[in-house]
Amino acid sequence: MLESDLKSTVREIPGFPKPGITFYDVSTLFRRADAFRAVVDRFVERYRDERIDVIAAIEARGFVLGAAAATELRVGLVLARKAGKLPHATETESYDLEYGCASIEVHRDAVEAGQRVLVVDDVLATGGTAAAVGRIVSRLGGHLTGYAFLLEIDALGGRKQLGGAPVFSLLHYA
């Protein structure tokens, strides 16, 4: 499936969650089996030959991509969740969003020292959420191998927040 075909399956919602923001709704891509399969295949193709021990998937749509890719790559899955959602001892990091601020958490025992971790999410916008997860991975002793996104909003410059780590984005928006 071509990039233009994949982009046509993503719904753009102007003014959400507030005026001036465009929300890229990838749930419309996920419901199309051919598009979802194409995305997972491209993630797997990109990372098949890299040594990755676990994927750290970011809530919520990153869970969908991360779980599918982890299954295909036969690696573990770590869940990065909004603050207060994980039941065990957590490592927390606060960060700025394009429309506010938030905190994200990972179980302290989810990443083992030396594990090679790929952070996966649906959208790279300002980079705050992904960078926060990357900092948690590092504090827990993991080796951050890079970041992977379904789509990147290039104009927001989120890639700059990721400390020079390798970044893979399947689709790009201005």
Interhelix angle 61-73/33-47, nearest 10 degrees: 60
Distance separating alpha carbons of residues 126 and 136, to the nearest angstrom: 18
Q: What are the Cα distances from residue 130, in Å, to 35, 98, 113, 126, 162?
A: 24, 13, 20, 9, 7
Q: 11 catalytic, yes or no?
A: no
Our answer to whether residue 61 is catalytic in this structure is: yes
Q: Which one of 32, 46, 72, 98 is the catalytic residue?
A: 98
Catalytic-role residue among 42, 61, 81, 105: 61
Give the DSSP H/E element, type plus range, for residue 107: strand 100-107
Q: What residues are labeled active site? A: 61, 98
